Amino acid sequence: MAIKIKSPALAPVPAPKLIDKLTDGTLTMEVYEHDASPPVGKPQAYRINSLARCSHDGAALNEIVFKCLKSDYGCASDDTNMYGVMYIAVTFKPDGDYPFFTIPLKDLTPKESQ
């Protein structure tokens, strides 16, 4: 006896909007809306209050860092699972852009917005 599964009709997916063309004179790269993915919003600022488990050698106590708004590719989750404390990805860039590093959330103090 065969089982028939009826699936709902899928809505057509609109073509992505071309927003830019980058060229170096020989190659041209088209940039579409879904490729741009700029960080949205203003990232939370934190003050570093411990470097015990910080993954960045250049970080300093009392330095201001910002939550990374782009993907950390699972790094913070991996560190959380490995060490058993909540890690987040942060960056030195106020816009929340790359590069990032991971640090335990308990080693950060939220900075009040100004």
Please report whether residue 22 resides in a domain.
Answer: no
**What is the count of structural domains for the chain?**
1
Domain extent, residue 97, equals 45-110
- Do the domain assignments include residue 38? no
Indicate whether 86 belongs to any domain: yes
Phi, psi for residue 36 in degrees, rounded to 5: -65, -45
Answer yes or no: is 35 within a domain: no
Of the candidates 102, 99, 108, the one whose C-alpha atom is nearest the C-alpha of residue 45 is: 108
Give a yes or no: residue 8 inside a domain: no
0.75 surpassed by pTM: no
pLDDT one digit per residue (tens) for the chain, 114 residues: 666 666 666 666 677 777 666 666 666 666 665 544 555 678 999 999 998 888 788 899 999 999 999 999 999 999 999 998 899 999 999 999 999 999 999 999 998 754
In a domain, 17, yes or no: no
Beta bridge partners of 28: 23
Continuous H helices in the chain? 33-36, 75-83
In a domain, 39, yes or no: no
Sign of CA dihedral 54, 57, 59, 61: positive
